[in-house]
Amino acid sequence: MAGRVRVGFIGVGGHGMQHVNACAKMADEAEIVAFCDPKEGVAQSRADEFRGKAFLSSDEMYDAVDMDAVIIVVPPYAHGSEFGAIERGIAFMVEKPVDLDLERAEKIAKAAADKGVLGVAAYMNRYRRGVNEAKSMLAHDPPALAMGGWIGGSPGLPKEGPGHWWIHKDQSGGQMVEQATHTVDLARFFCGEPVEVAAFAATGFNTTHPAYTIEDAVMIAAKFDSGALVNLYSSCASNAAGGVDLNLFAKHTCVKFSGWNHDVTILRPGKEPIEIAGEGEIFALEDRAFIEAVKTGDPSGIMSTYADGVETLRLTTAGDRAIATGQVQKLR
């Protein structure tokens, strides 16, 4: 593709602005041309700051503006605009999780594949140097056991008030589908695909928040096709301490990730520990890979396709079914 990649954005609240700001720093490769947000005045505010046109409807934006790519950052329940991009041959990147509805996500993945449109899932941690160094080491020494999760505090007012989508199970998907999805995705990245999934949920601990319907904590136990056993957990009921972690244990290698940046320590018998700090500007790495793939037509730099993101959703929704039914879910 000659010239800069013309990129639009759907969903330009706080998280969406991470991607806007990242693309704005790539002025040599990306031209920001449009913003869409259903909240009155938000898209116009972004257009005033970064130029481009403002819209309330994604279809209106697609029809009015010529673009090569779109970055979609919406709540899990609010997907569907991907179909409009696919119909018009526009490459798209979707923030995690790719959807709340697995069936709809599967249809989006199929539509993109059928039309040959690039679809990307924004699982940013796959672009980290420490993650890829660990992946290389574990390629010949696969993990037998992995465990990790996201631990946070109780939802508070007024930030997460009664109308906030995150506290509603039917809008966010809850602990595993939304909060811990990055850790779930990395478990797949290192261990392969789940074969069997069991799960349990804890409720009744957060009792003061109105309209709260998500779980207080969730734990998934899964067996993967590599033979690895994986324990994944998430909570929003820990106000004294918490954080993000993922630990992988192989015969000759132990990998310990910690914190939002996924700083990593790699341990091996008789060798000095390897310490790699996680990148702070991870959105810039992820977005540049997307823009480069659109510009060159070469998707080899993409670490997580949309179809791959659907598989992470398949695992988390299997956990939900296991909780609802009390039965182990067989996936393969």
From residue 90, give the alpha-carbon distance in Å to each of 71, 86, 164, 181, 216.
10, 6, 30, 26, 39
Q: What CATH number is given to the structural domain containing 199?
A: 3.30.360.10
Residues 120 and 132 in one domain: no
Residues 160 and 92 in one domain: no
Please check whether residue 82 lies inside any domain of the structure.
yes
pLDDT of residue 159: 57
Q: What CATH number is given to the structural domain containing 63?
A: 3.40.50.720
Pure H helices in the chain = 16-24, 42-50, 58-64, 81-87, 102-115, 129-138, 169-172, 174, 181-191, 282-296, 306-325
Residues 188 and 320 in one domain: yes
Taking 50 as the pLDDT cut, the residues of the chain under it are none
Query: Residue 174 in 3-state DSSP?
Result: helix
Neighbours of 208 (CB within 10 A): 9
pLDDT of residue 211: 82
Residues 182 and 292 in one domain: no
Residues 120 and 184 in one domain: no
Q: Which domain holds residue 159?
A: 126-278+313-330
Pure H helices in 72-167 = 81-87, 102-115, 129-138
Strands 143-151 and 69-72, sheet pairing: unpaired
Residues 274 and 185 in one domain: yes
DSSP string, 195-255: EEEEEEEE-SS--SSTT--S-SEEEEEEEETTS-EEEEEEES--SS--EEEEEEEESS-EE
The count of structural domains within the chain is 2
Please check whether residue 308 lies inside any domain of the structure.
no
Residues 292 and 255 in one domain: no
Residues 120 and 130 in one domain: no
Residues 145 and 228 in one domain: yes
**Residue 275 CA to chain centroid, in angstroms?**
25
Partners of 318 in beta bridges:
none
The predicted-structure confidence for 272-313, as pLDDT tens digits, reads as follows 999 999 999 999 999 999 999 999 999 999 999 999 999 999
Q: How far apart are CA 232 and CA 150, in angstroms?
A: 9
Residues 130 and 248 in one domain: yes
Residues 160 and 251 in one domain: yes
Partners of 71 in beta bridges:
9, 93
Residues 59 and 80 in one domain: yes
